[in-house]
Structure 1
């Protein structure tokens, strides 16, 4: 076991396929961005598991039990299934796998830092996914486990569905493979049921129907820009609310899913062929689909600030849309290289939109062991594919 292991996972932006990707086998395109969650695992002697976070003012000490990790006396038990839920679930999933494989456990401290918040407020960059991926890899590598990239993703998704089986896992795929990624989700409820019946090892090793992850090449003549609407949104609440809306039933739902699949397929083709206009058209189509879904369901996807963000970006020559579930958080704009990024930033600021300096990360190569970087002082330098 390593004395100290640090791992990073980036945030994400949804490029196309929001809401449709919640359905098993339906595609989306997601991009990893150079804001990171950092998790450091170190040996500790005075508790089974200690978790510290820059979002908390004190460490939380936990002990192992037959029901999973639980807070020691004097600790706030609500934190275990609240703020720290995804970290705790990642630890429990890794340790259950080790137990099933008759491998030992050891006391560990996990220290978490996040660059995916503004003054403690989430910005819609997938902080829950990033902390799940980073925690999973930090602990697995700390134990010396040799896992492929896909196994790390699968373990992170198994950890995530135990907290909430609703989200698609696209943000976990972006945090794992990085760069531009095409993603089709498995049936998360089926994974959760299988996990409860057969355990982590069986769930990890069996085939997952509908899951598909395909790294995509970046565009060479488009720059991805990000604006923050100024208010956070709850993806979980919006996704849960959608299922109750009359406009998400029957023919409208089927039409949205089919139209979204065609849009994502067009965006994938444009990326593979580096067709600038094709990708711009696909992003505009993705925006119109979200706008139509919002009109049919009254879900509140396209808020007034997100509408302004898109309209201002279009006036500067970009194709723009909300990124993710909407209701707040961020929007994206793909701007041709010959248009002024400074003009876009100035106009966004004047419209009350905060430009966020982000770049898409490079994709990572598949491997079967822990990365060589152990406890560096800073996260990886961004290797942006877009200007």
Structure 2
């Protein structure tokens, strides 16, 4: 086996066909980070003149002429081949020493232990502890089997939905009832999904800002989203989508439901005139309650038309399409329009795209890994769980100290700087 620097074309040809590839390990990501001041290179392992493992390395300047090397959601190799993993590590460390790298950070896009929807370990499920132990043996330190949401790290827990070899109807039938009802609602309301061009990314940004403020997350500047668009859109790897609704379509849908329940009231009233029946009266009372509910919804809809117009923007999302999956990196919805279930329109649209184009899975991405009501994102998890997918626990974040002496000096100076700020 031979370790060497790869050309961009060599890396691209390997990465795009690698079974467990991802958009973080692409030239597109390398170019995006370069715009932020982070140089990059590509390395790989060749056997019989064929690339069998590779990685995009991103370098973050941190101290004098020294940098940190980040392997974002990589490297791209067969982790079950421990001999290959060891060879890659040993050769990579030698390579990084020549580049004034203090330490290496990586977070492999690779599962750890199989989990069920309650987050419990599946009996007789897969267990990659031997790979984790091998990385520790090689000298890596692990940042812990973390739970929760950390804005400074990619999530260790994600949620995916299998979309390979399944029809739309079968996929829909697998979901929880509430999710099925919500998807039917967005279809009845005729909520439409559209793609944003670069000149209209502000529509996405405004929705995300509304969402992040509500949930206490950090909002990224416009330049970040423009950079993402510029780096990935030309190759078809990214889409900024948004959902809209015509209020007249919505009112028309409500009027149909209103009429259905009004018919029940009228028919029940006629039958009760002929003969008293507790069952019919109960049915009529329920229908009367529904009539009042739909009348109120129509009234509220007319108020929205008066204040916001007939065509309203509801929700938006950022979606990456690459390799085996479509991934929703971030989505949001205006709080005042949450009752219209519009996020389901976005996700159902992309789930159908997964099926139509043969992607293996739809990735709803980060969850906290805490599966009870104490979790700050418990409501978000219940939303994702309704699609009846898979909880994926990833290996997590690893560090390897490449230059122990300079790393120790760097850490000491950081502590001094931190104390001076207090």
TM-score normalised by length of structure 2:
0.26
Between Structure 1 and Structure 2, the one with more helix by share is 2
TM-score (norm 1): 0.28
